Amino acid sequence: MEQLNIGLEELDQLKQLHQTLRKHPELSEHEQETREILKDFIQTHCSNLEIVDQGRWFYVWKAGSPGKQTIAFRADHDAISNTQGQVFHGCGHDGHSTILAGLAWQLDSMDLSTNVMLIFQHAEENGVGAREIVPRMQEIGVDYVYGLHNFPGFAQNQIIGKSGTFMCASTGMEIRFQGQQTHAGQPEKGINPAFALAELCLKLKDLGKFPGFGPQKALGHTFDSLVMATIISLELGQKGMYGIAAGSGQLQLTLRASKYSDLKELTNLLEEEVNRLATEEHLSAAIRYLDQFPDTSNPVEEVERLERLAKANGLAYHQLEQAFRPSEDFGWYLMNFPGTFFGLGSGDEHPDLHDDRYEFPDEIIASGIRIFRALLMDHQG
């Protein structure tokens, strides 16, 4: 078992860092103060590591022996909004960054053969951050990348793994129909997009239900696994203007699939349907995609490594049977580098992610550092 040399005083300071981050949440692409807090902590406690500022994100670098592999670890640090519109760390990214800062503290006094890159990533929630970072990782020549996410509903400190799809692919899809506004008393003189939107929504009704992860038929196509389309918002015309027949309308969807390839096929089929309806109803149509995430899928051999190391380091291990349906932009890393993304249990009865009551539990910080360190040491042979 790899010994985790972290004392009560060090753990207390990491908990203080976590609480400081929790009190200063910032939304995706606005995490300036968060980065300064993290960099200040690392500069205070680490004298043998290099902090490399990349503007919207930064990484910590520890050089190993020439010609050796480069092992990367990533933590996100953006926050979300609660139901009152207040910014808070409702997904636990403050805890993830605390774990990575703790690993940096550990690395400072270690002699390693490999290079180590600790990525403090911005903008996970909107799918932007990882895509921006991948090119720099390619330039450096990263060989493996690892990351974790805390998960309520699992025992504290339990490691959660799965080969294949661990978290699903998804994208926001914004569909806008433009017709011709007219007087409500003379609707025949205009072109109302309401009927095209209504027909499209009805076609999506079955896709709004969770059918399981088996093969699925939708929109005349058979998909290999799960696909879903969730209606997020529907806007039409001008609210309260009873003398005006609508001339424009917008539908926002979240599309989801177990595999990125199925997600792309689903978007293609929906684009064909939108264009068909626009032609039939004499409308113009515009489509925009936002918050794009690939599936986060783990190779078998890396999940086997994770299970072996978790058990060897006294951490309970849970093999997930089905993928998590939410998305995670770590998938952009795993499309380019081997590695694994896994879960860290935050408590059986802990409030769920994105719930207003959610807070990352301090009690799992040490276990996150332990499993990251074990993964790193496994590459030192």
Cβ proximity of 338 and 299 under 8 Å = yes
Supply the pLDDT for residue 191: 98
pLDDT greater than 60 at residue 289: yes
Q: Which domain holds residue 259?
A: 169-293
Which percentage of the chain shows pLDDT scores above 70?
A: 99
Rounded Cα–Cα distance for residues 377 and 79 (Å): 31
Q: Check whether residue 146 and residue 179 sit in a common domain.
A: no
133 in any annotated domain: yes
Query: Which distant-in-sequence residues (6+ apart) come within 8 Å of 308 by Cβ?
Result: none
Among 271, 293, 315, give the residue marking a domain's end.
293
What's the CATH code of the domain at 196? 3.30.70.360
- DSSP codes of every residue in 253-266: EEEEESSHHHHHHH
Number of domains in the chain: 2
CA R_g for the chain: 24
Q: Check whether residue 267 and residue 320 sit in a common domain.
A: no
Among 246, 275, 293, give the residue marking a domain's end.
293
Q: Check whether residue 234 and residue 278 sit in a common domain.
A: yes
Rounded Cα–Cα distance for residues 24 and 322 (Å): 35
16 in any annotated domain: yes
3 in any annotated domain: no
Q: Check whether residue 272 and residue 360 sit in a common domain.
A: no
- 230-285 pLDDT, tens per residue? 999 999 999 999 999 999 999 999 999 999 999 999 999 999 999 999 999 999 99
Q: Check whether residue 173 and residue 202 sit in a common domain.
A: yes
Cβ proximity of 239 and 181 under 8 Å = no
1 in any annotated domain: no
* 239 token code pair: 């609210």
- 123-174 pLDDT, tens per residue? 999 999 999 999 999 999 999 999 999 999 999 999 999 999 999 999 999 9
Q: Check whether residue 50 and residue 72 sit in a common domain.
A: yes
Supply the pLDDT for residue 4: 62
2 in any annotated domain: no
Q: Check whether residue 14 and residue 142 sit in a common domain.
A: yes
Q: Check whether residue 133 and residue 188 sit in a common domain.
A: no
Among 273, 293, 313, give the residue marking a domain's end.
293
The pTM (predicted TM-score) of the whole model is 0.95
Q: Check whether residue 55 and residue 120 sit in a common domain.
A: yes
Q: Check whether residue 283 and residue 355 sit in a common domain.
A: no
Residue owning tokens 């929504």:
201
pLDDT band at 6, cuts 50/70/90? confident
Q: Check whether residue 18 and residue 156 sit in a common domain.
A: yes
